[in-house]
Amino acid sequence: MKLLTLSLVLVLLSFISDSALKAQILYSQNRSSSNRGTPSTQRGPGGTRPPGSPLGNCQPTDHEISLIAPPSFQEITTTEHPILWVYIPYTRDQIHEINFRVEKRDIDRRNQRTIYRTSIAPLEQSGIIGIPLSPETPLLDNQLYEWFFVLNCSERRRGQHHDIILNGFIEKIPVSAQNSDYFSHDIVTNIAQKVLENNGTVAHDTPWQALLKELELEHLIGENIILLPLE
């Protein structure tokens, strides 16, 4: 995957006028690992499963379910109530259930506590959906969290594996704490919300298109963008 070019960085930053948002880092211009010991997210079905893995009872689709983020990058946010963006290729009649939860984790991953859990109603159409990670509980600075997105296309029997699982780790950092080894979900949210303010119209050569191209998700440029309401 090619790195973010300077021109794209300038386009994205010029698109976001607020100085605090300009301080948000996109992701590293090198792929070196950080020294903080926090795990990275894998893009594609099943979290650590590679793309093309079996999807249980779900049918194959032209475009696989995907997290809107680069693969194998530690995720960060500067907001107390961040939004996770996931492309779901299935419609309501193809989905039995979608569950989502967020756990507070120690850095050594030995202790965890669920701080948010919800069920997501399947949508009438496929598209890129924005999921608020924890509308009930604000995320704390310098705290690691793990999220789980679970989708089943048919009713699951006791002891049976879920059809699709996406999961990853995200850390809340202060706005002033810039780190070039991480990917910020906030940049996706800022650009997606601008598109939604424009009635969901994705114009030619917009920052949204540029971002998806850099994430190697250009095949999703024409997909619907849907922000789920806070509960």
Domain ranges of the chain: 6-227
DSSP string for residues in 93-150: GG-SEEEEEEEEE-TTSS-EEEEEEEE-PPPSS-EEEEEES-SSSPPPTTEEEEEEEE
Per-residue pLDDT of the chain (231 residues; tens, 9 = 90+): 444 443 444 445 444 444 333 333 333 333 333 333 334 444 444 333 344 455 678 888 999 999 998 876 778 899 999 999 999 999 999 999 999 999 998 766 677 889 999 999 988 989 999 999 888 889 999 999 999 999 999 887 776 788 899 988 899 998 877 566 678 889 999 999 988 888 766 666 589 999 999 889 999 998 999 999 876
The Cα 32–Cα 91 span in angstroms is: 38
Nearest C-alpha neighbor of 96 from the set 59, 132, 131, 147 = 59
Q: Which helix (H) or strand (E) holds 192?
A: helix 185-197
For the entire predicted model, the pTM comes to 0.77
Is the Cα torsion angle 188, 191, 192, 193 positive or negative in sign? positive
The angle at the Cα of 145, spanning 163 to 176, to the nearest 5 degrees, equals 135
Q: Which pLDDT score is estimated for 191?
A: 93
